[in-house]
């Protein structure tokens, strides 16, 4: 059997109030965050908590992720970083080191593959994870209760996410070769990517964003989500279409 889940992160202001979420279906998802963090931290934490939530489930894990930084970090760059004492090619420390090391421990012996999906184009699982991650970030921004979700509900046993959870001792794992599936997207001018040990440039260019915060009621939020789904787009793009 294969578990298919989306993992996503969100940071308001980047850095700012940040959230993470993984999502399988409406009955099986989890979310959390911090008062201050980055989008990359949210993306990484979502993947970490997905691995932790499924550590007692003997199924392959198919992870949908819209962050090539996360996918490349785990599947391409991490082995080289470890050999260099968790340093990058320029000798500088790896960014988000603690999260990277926790992920490295969590994936040991696991059967998994990543699939890159383009964000904010109406992909059902990706949008569901994105909405929950952003909702968590907004809760930290407003200092309200964070909707943490039901957690893992599809068999097996897993503890709820914990900021201080320690990793269990593991037997020496067999070698696992991750698989990455990517979908072509339009490319723009290259920029320097300091995270990539193997290449001087990355073709992934993030646009400049301005954050607009809009307070809505729970009913208004439900209507926005429903209308976005009916239109086959995200809530953000639905609102952006009105500009």
Active site residues: 8-9, 43, 66, 120, 130
- CA trace torsion 48, 210, 227, 129 (10° rounding): 0
Three-state DSSP state, 154? coil
Residues recorded for the chain: 243
Q: Give the separation between CA 240 and CA 243, rounded to whole angstroms.
A: 5
Name the DSSP letter for residue 76: I
* Token pair belonging to 142: 């407003």
CB 116 within 8 A of CB 57: no
Nearest-CA neighbor of 234 among 125, 139, 94? 125
Residues 6+ apart with CB under 8 A from 112: 51, 60, 61, 62, 63, 176, 178
Encode burial over 60-81: b for 16+ CB neighbours within 10 A, e otherwise. Answer: ebbbbbbbbbbbbbbbbbbeeb
Q: How distant is the alpha carbon of residue 94 from its chain centre?
A: 18
* Token pair belonging to 170: 């593991």
E strands within 12-66?
A: 16-25, 28-37, 60-65
């Amino acid at each position: 059997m294969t578990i298919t889940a989306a993992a996503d992160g969100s940071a308001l202001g980047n850095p700012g109030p940040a959230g993470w979420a993984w999502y399988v279906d409406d009955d099986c998802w989890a979310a959390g965050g911090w008062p201050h963090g980055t989008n990359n931290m949210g993306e990484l934490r979502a993947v970490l908590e997905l691995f932790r939530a499924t550590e007692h489930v003997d199924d392959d894990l198919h992870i949908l992720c819209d962050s090539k930084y996360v996918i490349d970090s785990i599947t391409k760059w991490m082995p080289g970083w470890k050999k260099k004492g968790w340093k990058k090619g320029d000798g500088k420390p790896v960014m988000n080191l603690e999260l990277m090391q926790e992920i490295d421990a969590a994936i040991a012996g696991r059967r998994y593959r990543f699939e890159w999906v383009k964000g904010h184009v109406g992909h059902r699982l990706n949008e569901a994870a994105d909405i929950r991650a952003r909702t968590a970030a907004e809760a930290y921004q407003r200092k309200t209760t964070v909707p943490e979700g039901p957690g893992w509900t599809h068999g097996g046993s897993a503890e709820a996410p914990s900021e201080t959870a320690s990793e269990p001792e593991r037997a020496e794992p067999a070698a696992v070769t991750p698989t990455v599936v990517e979908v072509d997207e339009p490319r723009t001018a290259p920029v320097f990517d300091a995270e990539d040990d193997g290449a001087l440039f990355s073709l992934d260019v993030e646009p400049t964003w301005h954050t607009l915060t809009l307070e809505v009621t729970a009913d208004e939020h439900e209507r926005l989500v429903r209308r976005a789904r009916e239109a086959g787009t995200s809530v953000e793009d639905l609102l952006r279409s009105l500009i």
